[in-house]
Chain A
Amino acid sequence: MKPVRKIHGLAVGLEMANVDTDQIVPARYLYRNRSEGFADTLFHDMRSDPQGCERDSFPLNAPEAEQATILVTLDNFGCGSSREHAVWALVDAGFQAVIAVSFGDIFRNNAHENGLLPVVLEEHEVMHLLQHVKSGPAKLTVDLETQRVRLPDGTCFSFDIDSAARENLLLGRSKIDATHSLMSTIDAFEEAYLGRHPWSE
């Protein structure tokens, strides 16, 4: 997993709330192997009509949006199913951060595990950013070290992030390796736990 520090790139806006993971990746693509990639499935059914023609009105279809690395959206982004494919599709399409008013819990955890930075800002701050990208993708900086989002005109918004997630993102570390070093603690806990709850064995 690539460490995340400072993302300086083009931001694109998706002015919608409750964008669920079925919208991010339709279920019919989930069977693919991870190595096959999911970039082409990202927002598939919002991006193109049932005949397969791209919808001009969809912001990610703007030619400059192809270079975008930051997505700005509203409330409850990534709600719904636990499919990690939603994060993979964003990562495979080049996104490094998603800025939203709020996230679905599982989506946020999945993002942390894949080097995708979920940034929560106040609604008026997100509206300001959406205004900034209204006429097309525009530059933005997201700095995880200082926990700030900066616009080219110097406007700055700070954000909070769970410190464990921050650390893992900065180090590009996945949890599984960190936990493995605690195996003897886990073994000891388990023995005591199963002593008290033998029916769990």
Chain B
Amino acid sequence: MTGSKTLFEKIWDAHAIRVSENGESLLYVDRHFIHDGTSQAFEKLELAGHGVRSPHKTFGTADHYVPTRNGLDGLTDPARRAMVLRLEEDAKRYDIRCFGFGHQHQGIVHVIGPELGLTLPGFLLVCGDSHTSTHGALGAFAFGVGASEVAHVLATQTIWQARPKTMRITLDGHAGVGVTAKDMILHIIGTIGAGGATGHVIEYAGSGIEALSMEGRLTLCNMSIEAGARAGLIAPDDKTAAYLKGKPFAPSGADWDHAVAHWQTLASDGDAAFDREVRIETDNISPTVTWGTSPEDAVPVTAAVPDPQGEPDAERRARMIRALDYMNLKPGTPMEAIAVDRVFIGSCTNSRIEDLRAAAEILKGRKTRIPAMVVPGSMIVKAAAEAEGLDRIFAKAGVEWRDPGCSMCVAMNGVDVVGPGERCASTSNRNFAGRQGRAARTHLMSPAMAAAAAVAGRIVDPRKPLPGGA
């Protein structure tokens, strides 16, 4: 049937204002998020002499530079403190709603958008941050942009884009015990590569996706960018609507019914064609962890550090050797034999309530051997976790319970930093050299695996029984 469209194409077409002679489309932006790393975009806007066209469509939150303990005093460096305050000043000047430091809605931008109902299915949503792909879990076309484009969106509520290609990744089957959305996405990136989806928008489909909770879907879409994708998308379904109902900024009354009816039309048509199709058997996915400095360096936790000598491609072999050197690992070492120095549970990938519950389940009644911290994704997540008593489980286990922010995912607040040469078991999304601090070594994994690592002092298969527990 002609006229069949994918979810992505439906959203794209609904937002296309015009197509230029050279094939770029001018797209309408429903929602725009800013954070405490947006000051240079405001500088640019001022330089160009423009104002903010639709301030009520932009929302701000402080996340990248915020301290995660001792209030604002926890941020000792004046330049970083200035970034947190700059956001509030810029927002105030342009009449933009802002959840600044200490606000009850403050949190990591990709955690608060969905949980406040600011992210809605069918929306075109942008933010000056690459992990904007997260919001695609609700069926929004959401992508990260640079500072110049942020200024463009502020000034015009639109953005120019060349139409990306489409790619469907179908995950059928059942996830085994101990296999989370994080394991799925690490497995996918390990399979298609860190540049495997460049120029594409990924739609995740199949029974393995339908079975995921909203939190799991957010984790999955979050790391689409680690496969190079422009965005990740999941068709909205009943779970999506149930998740959004009653959220502070979600539509209500007649608007709600109208919106839900529209969302039901968004799923890809049965015979819609994708530029690329990838199939993954969910049953074959194991708890997965990274060994190197690219998210594609992902292996089952039961595997060993790979040997570059077995890699036929010379360039890839050279990269593996460099990564092993940086990570101070020897080929053939079982992943489970790798001792870690600290554990970070948090980031826009894995700091939602479900993630914290998974970590708490492992930590309950046990003690950690190494420094570990849990940084909730938002004030709302923090309050929910405390209401359930998760904070007390963490405290008893010897894990630090912090205030929301990006924290050790990116080490930008200058205090939540992995030390040089230290090895961190982390639930974040990037294991790039220096990401968590200069010369820091990162192993990406799920919250359950990170919690188990905190107890064992090394990387362990979270399916295996740990000593102790309650």
Contact = CB atoms under 8 A, between A and B. Distances in A.
A109 B262 contact: no
A179 B23 contact: no
Given A23-B432, A105-B230, A185-B17, A200 B30 contact: yes
A186 B155 contact: no
Contacts of B420: 50
A33 B39 CA distance: 8
B23 A84 contact: no
B113 interface: no
B438 interface: yes
Given A105-B199, A175-B152, A185 B434 contact: no
Contact of A200 (B20, B123, B128): B123
Given A102-B195, A106-B146, A183-B156, A199 B259 contact: yes
Nearest to B148: A113
A182 B19 CA distance: 12
A186 B158 contact: yes
Interface in A144-201: 162-164, 166-167, 174-177, 179-180, 182-183, 185-186, 189-190, 193, 196-200
Contact of B23 (A45, A164, A176): A164
Which of B120, B128, B152 has most chain A Cβ within 10 Å? B152
A82 B130 contact: yes
A79 B439 CA distance: 19
B22 A23 contact: no
A164 B22 contact: yes
Given A17-B315, A179-B152, A186-B17, A50 B435 contact: no
B120 A34 contact: no
Nearest to B82: A31
Given A34-B44, A199-B251, A45 B434 contact: yes
Interface string A8-41: 0000000111101011001110111111000000
B255 interface: yes
B1 interface: no
B386 interface: no
B80 interface: yes
Interface stretch (B167-175, B342-350, B408-416): B408-416
A141 interface: no
A183 B156 CA distance: 8
A16 B319 contact: yes
Contact of A189 (B28, B43, B128, B162): B28
Which of B82, B145, B316 has most chain A Cβ within 10 Å? B145
B30 A114 contact: no
B430 A84 contact: no
Contact of B120 (A26, A106, A199): A199
Nearest to A32: B79
A80 B128 CA distance: 13
The bracket for how many chain B residues form the interface is 35 or more
A167 B146 CA distance: 20
A81 interface: yes
A171 to B, nearest CB: 12
Contacts of A176: 48, 50, 148, 151-152, 155-156
A87 interface: yes
B414 A28 contact: yes
A186 B294 CA distance: 41
Contacts of B20: 164
Interface of A: 15-18, 20, 22-23, 26-28, 30-35, 45, 50, 74-76, 79-85, 87, 102-106, 109-110, 113-114, 162-164, 166-167, 174-177, 179-180, 182-183, 185-186, 189-190, 193, 196-200
Given A175-B148, A189-B17, 16 more contacts: A18-B194, A22-B432, A22-B435, A28-B411, A34-B43, A76-B228, A82-B129, A104-B228, A113-B148, A162-B24, A164-B23, A166-B22, A186-B26, A196-B14, A198-B255, A199-B256
Pick the 4 closest A-B CB pairs, nearest first: A163-B22, A113-B148, A110-B146, A199-B251
Interface of B: 14-15, 17-18, 20-24, 26, 28, 30-31, 37, 39-40, 43-44, 48, 50, 65, 79-80, 82-83, 120, 122-123, 128-130, 144-149, 151-152, 155-158, 160, 162, 164, 194-195, 198-199, 225, 228, 230, 251, 255-256, 258-259, 262, 294, 315-316, 318-319, 322, 410-412, 414, 420, 430, 432-435, 438-439
25 contacts: A16-B319, A17-B316, A20-B432, A23-B434, A27-B410, A28-B411, A35-B43, A50-B420, A79-B195, A104-B198, A105-B164, A105-B230, A110-B148, A110-B149, A164-B22, A166-B22, A176-B156, A179-B155, A180-B50, A185-B18, A186-B156, A197-B14, A199-B251, A199-B255, A200-B30
